[in-house]
């Protein structure tokens, strides 16, 4: 049996090319995707319940107490979908569109409702309804409005009481302060909470990404001319199948970027990583549609918010240059220009404060150290071995050099392979960093989850640029 088939236009219909991918796809598509949905929502309900009962962080406990009911209701809804599928094969209630609607409802119930609830209680004066990063970003917005820079200098941070020095640091790129401007301008209200605007930006970016990935394939599948159908019968027959697989893959991809507990919890209690992630996913979607100016603007906006987007911008730039010089130039315009434009005002106002916040503090040379400590290999090595921080840093640099060599020798020629580079690269970095957070795993999980959707949504031009898979036979 061939490991990959191709349409007449050269685009690939990629069934699994390895045993691992074959088993994963089989599990992912079991019962039309509903079996995996059931496992996802049931395990998420259990996670939320445990979080509500045991977490030492008040915002997390508050999230679990609300989100648990949303995940439980979703689990029951999927059981109903499975029953409908069993009794009436082909029922729309169990189809991909219904799964997509349920995903939106679950995200609302497990992320947006807890987030708004906590924002309302916080505006009413109740403590413990936001993580520290929300306070930091809102204060940085006020400083940007008043002083032209979101950063405090080292002397100003040292003058703060000991318990407030950590909150004096703003370890983000200057653009993140924009999310703090509503509170700086309008005062304390539920709708000026920075998380509300994180959610708005996330929903907008993901919505555009999904619409973009669905648009062209749907047009091809919807109505080829009679001449085209006659000339390319294989393409006409395969297009609806491909569109169905693509839509199912998109539902799973959106689930793992929104309703997965690490994403829903992060948005409801802190949230600054979600718009960064969503903009990066939008950039990948633009690349899959050969829209490199849009890809550059999206990843450039993400890089103006947080350093985590900079490796993504680099990999996308390599991919675009491989496609063509023009594509590389169009992507570089936003991917490089926007982060620089965001840094220039802060550099001009107080360059020392910029260095203190975005370089010295993340590298562990600030007045206080970051509380980001998760038991990943890099942290364990740094804490348990003599000279552990140097060893962990060396391993991190080594992993970076390996990825750089791979980028040169086997550069990503499609948006899907670009997402693979980003996913595995960030996973290696998160595991090896001496100071990191468990929540950062949302980045590699989402990037890897979007690979099938990006592959299935590839334009004929992009798909034809990928290396042709070697056909394998099985007995």
Two structure tokens written together for 174:
């200057």
In a domain, 251, yes or no: yes
pLDDT range class, residue 145, cuts 50, 70, 90: very high
- Closest to 27 measured CA to CA, from 36, 39, 18: 36
* Euclidean distance between CA atoms 400 and 164, whole angstroms: 34
In a domain, 104, yes or no: no
pLDDT digit string (tens) for 389-430?
Answer: 788 888 888 888 998 899 999 999 999 999 999 999 999 988
Residue 304 makes CB contacts below 8 A (sequence gap 6+) with 173, 174, 175, 338, 339, 341, 342
The pLDDT of residue 336 is 96
In a domain, 60, yes or no: no
* Euclidean distance between CA atoms 321 and 339, whole angstroms: 19
The pLDDT of residue 222 is 41
pLDDT digit string (tens) for 176-226?
Answer: 999 999 999 999 999 999 999 999 999 999 999 999 998 854 443 444 444
The pLDDT of residue 28 is 81
> For residue 371, what are the domain limits?
130-465
* Euclidean distance between CA atoms 276 and 301, whole angstroms: 8
pLDDT range class, residue 462, cuts 50, 70, 90: low
In a domain, 83, yes or no: no
For 447, what's the count of Cα atoms within 13 Å in the CB-facing half-sphere?
Answer: 29
* Euclidean distance between CA atoms 313 and 299, whole angstroms: 6
Three-class secondary structure of residue 412 per DSSP: coil
Least-confidence region, from 9-13, 94-98, 140-144, 336-340: 9-13
Three-class secondary structure of residue 269 per DSSP: helix
**Mean pLDDT value across the chain:** 86
* Euclidean distance between CA atoms 114 and 111, whole angstroms: 6
Q: Supply the Cα-derived Rg of the chain in whole angstroms.
A: 23
The pLDDT of residue 318 is 95
* Euclidean distance between CA atoms 408 and 403, whole angstroms: 9
Residue 315 main-chain phi, psi, to 5 deg = -65, -40
Residue 369 main-chain phi, psi, to 5 deg = -100, 155
Let me know if 29 is exposed, middle or buried by CB neighbors in 10 A (0-12, 13-18, 19+): middle
- Closest to 333 measured CA to CA, from 291, 364, 373: 291
In percent, the amount of the chain with pLDDT more than 70 equals: 87
Q: Count up the domains in the chain and report the number.
A: 1
Rounded to an integer, the average pLDDT of 32-55 is: 95
In a domain, 82, yes or no: no
pLDDT digit string (tens) for 67-107?
Answer: 999 999 999 999 999 999 988 888 888 889 999 999 999 99
In a domain, 284, yes or no: yes
- Specify whether the CB–CB gap between 77 and 34 falls below 8 A: no
* Euclidean distance between CA atoms 138 and 182, whole angstroms: 8
In a domain, 19, yes or no: no
Rounded to an integer, the average pLDDT of 346-356 is: 95
Least-confidence region, from 108-112, 144-148, 296-300, 371-375: 371-375
CA distances (Å), origin 217, targets 210, 211, 256, 367, 456: 12, 11, 22, 53, 9
CA distances (Å), origin 355, targets 126, 146, 153, 306, 372: 35, 20, 9, 14, 20
- Specify whether the CB–CB gap between 443 and 273 falls below 8 A: yes
In a domain, 49, yes or no: no
């Amino acid at each position: 049996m061939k490991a990959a088939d191709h349409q007449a236009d050269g685009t690939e219909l990629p069934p699994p090319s390895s045993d691992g991918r074959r088993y994963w796809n089989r599990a992912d598509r079991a019962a039309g995707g509903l079996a995996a949905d059931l496992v996802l929502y049931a395990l998420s309900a259990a996670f939320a319940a445990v979080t509500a009962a045991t977490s030492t962080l008040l915002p997390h406990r508050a999230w679990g107490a609300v989100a648990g009911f949303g995940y439980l209701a979703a689990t029951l809804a999927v059981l109903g979908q499975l029953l409908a599928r069993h009794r009436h094969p082909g029922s729309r209630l169990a189809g991909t569109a219904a799964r997509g609607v349920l995903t939106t409802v679950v995200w609302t119930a497990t992320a947006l409702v807890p987030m708004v609830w906590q924002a309302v209680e916080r505006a009413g004066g109740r403590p413990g309804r936001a993580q520290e990063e929300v306070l930091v970003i809102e204060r940085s917005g006020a400083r940007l409005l008043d002083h032209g820079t979101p950063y405090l200098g080292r002397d100003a941070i040292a003058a703060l009481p000991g318990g407030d020095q950590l909150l004096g640091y703003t370890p983000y790129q200057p653009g993140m302060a924009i999310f703090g401007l509503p509170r700086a301008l309008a005062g304390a209200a539920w709708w000026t909470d920075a998380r509300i605007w994180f959610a708005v930006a996330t929903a907008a970016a993901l919505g555009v990404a999904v619409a973009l990935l669905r648009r062209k394939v749907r047009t091809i599948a919807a109505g080829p001319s009679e001449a085209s159908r006659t000339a390319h019968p294989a393409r006409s027959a395969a297009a609806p199948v491909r569109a169905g697989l693509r839509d199912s893959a998109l539902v799973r991809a959106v689930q793992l970027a929104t309703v997965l507990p690490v994403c829903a919890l992060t948005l409801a209690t802190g949230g600054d990583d979600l718009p960064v992630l969503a903009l990066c996913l939008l950039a990948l979607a633009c690349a899959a549609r050969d829209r490199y100016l849009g890809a550059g603007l999206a990843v450039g906006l993400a890089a103006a918010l947080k350093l985590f987007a900079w490796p993504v911008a680099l990999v996308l730039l390599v991919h675009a240059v491989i496609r063509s010089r023009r594509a590389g130039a169009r992507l570089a315009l936003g991917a490089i220009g926007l982060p620089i434009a965001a840094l220039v005002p802060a550099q001009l106002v107080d360059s020392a404060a910029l260095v203190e916040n975005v370089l010295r503090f993340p590298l562990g040379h600030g007045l206080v150290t970051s509380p980001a400590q998760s038991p990943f290999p890099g942290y364990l090595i740094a804490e348990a071995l003599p000279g552990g921080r140097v060893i962990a840093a060396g391993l991190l640099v080594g992993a970076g050099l390996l990825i750089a060599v791979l980028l040169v020798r086997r550069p990503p020629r499609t948006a899907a392979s670009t997402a693979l580079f980003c996913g595995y690269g960030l996973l290696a970095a998160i595991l090896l960093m001496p100071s990191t957070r468990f929540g950062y795993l949302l980045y590699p999980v989402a990037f890897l989850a979007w690979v099938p959707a990006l592959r299935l949504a590839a334009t004929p031009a992009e798909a034809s640029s990928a290396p042709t898979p070697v056909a394998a036979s099985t007995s």
